[in-house]
Chains A and B, each alone.
Chain A
Amino acid sequence: MADMDYSAAQDAELVQASRTGDMVAFEQLVARHRDKIYARAYMMMRNEEEAVDLSQEAWVKAWQRLVQFQGDSSFTTWMTRIVINLCLDQLRKRKRQRAESIEAMEEESGGVERQMPVVMVNPTERLERAELRVRIDDALGKLSEAHRTVLVLHEFEHMEYKNIAKTMKCSIGTVMSRLFYARRKMAVLLQDLKTSE
């Protein structure tokens, strides 16, 4: 691997080199994808320090499990699954500590938000990109962990309902309900933020 041009190499080549113990190749993979992996952890945890720790733990696990990566999906998809699972484990631990079940969200999955009037304003039309990002970030922070997780898995990971249900260990109906609630809540929060200006 001494002749390898790491910065020009494909992910698959870097993975192959990493499997043989080539730390430089692995470092290149980390450098390439660290923002994406961190972003996923941050979206789920809403805490920079936790997101950094969990994303780094994901990289350590990836190094230890490189032999298990078959190349059926892209390396980033595989990595993202690792960090998502770590985040879900962390969220479940946190829920247990709070004696609050991640499944017990019925009170939020229907009720008031389902009956809310439709938000007619498109937030992307009225706010600058940077401002919109801050506002969306704030709104995401106001969602429960269960609702935010469904949103992240669906919107960013493009996971189908059934796969989200499998990942979160809940029914497809619960996934649909949580996703609907999360989107409606986000719409209202973004509208509120604009009208409060």
Chain B
Amino acid sequence: MNEDLQLKLQAYLDGELPSGEARAVAELLARDSAARALLAELTNTRDAILSHEADIKVPESREFYWSKIRRQIDREEQAAPAIKTISFSERIRRFLVPAGAVATVAIAVMLTFPGNSVNGDAFTDVADADAFTYHDYESGTTLVWLDYPDENILPESESDDTLDL
């Protein structure tokens, strides 16, 4: 008996065959003793397995079993709001840390060029040094990125050796 026929017999037993194919299998069973024997084996095994399930019981008392479920439910319900709080504070922290860093840089720039800030030259000097700014009107925050001239422009004697333009 080939594999296809074996699986068809099983599908016949399980009621999974379309009516046309089921009729064909029924006709085969009427004339083929090997097919009948295999179907009987599959049926017996199925029935034996089905008789097995009813006796499986939880190996713990009702109270003990339930107490563990109850504790877990309570634990997870208590944990849920805590996670939300952490998420919110984490969001705040993520906003404040870079904002604080930018503010520190801005203050440092102002302290480094105190004289220029009086007559308005500071803005020009910073702009000449490839600085650019971003202002967030919603939060009222200004971000300033700076490249200092003396970090990028080498002394003439060194630049002659290293820059190949």
Residues in chain A within 8 A of chain B (CB atoms): 23, 27, 30-31, 34-35, 38-39, 42-43, 48, 52, 55-57, 59-60, 63-64, 110, 114, 118-124, 129-130, 132-133, 136-137, 140, 151, 154-156, 160-161, 176-177, 179-180, 183-184, 186-187, 190
Contact = CB atoms under 8 A, between A and B. Distances in A.
Question: Which range contains the number of B residues in contact with the other chain?
Answer: 35 or more
Nearest to A156: B53
Contacts of A176: 7, 10-11
A56 B72 contact: yes
Interface string B100-116: 00000000000000000
B41 A118 contact: yes
Given A31-B62, A64-B76, A183 B48 contact: no
Contacts of A23: 70, 73
A123 B44 contact: yes
A184 to B, nearest CB: 8
Given A56-B72, A136-B49, A120 B41 contact: yes
A42 to B, nearest CB: 6
A48 B60 CA distance: 10
B interface majority secondary structure:
helix
Give the 6 A-B residue pairs with the shortest CB-CB distance, closest first. A39-B56, A136-B52, A122-B44, A118-B37, A38-B58, A187-B45
Contact of A137 (B52, B57, B70): B52
B52 A133 contact: yes
B76 to A, nearest CB: 7
Given A42-B56, A114-B6, A133-B51, A160 B16 contact: yes
A38 B57 contact: yes
Contacts of B16: 160-161
A197 B47 CA distance: 22
Contacts of B69: 30, 56, 59-60, 63
19 contacts: A23-B70, A30-B66, A35-B58, A52-B60, A56-B72, A59-B69, A121-B44, A122-B48, A123-B44, A124-B48, A129-B51, A130-B55, A133-B55, A136-B49, A140-B49, A154-B14, A176-B11, A184-B45, A187-B42
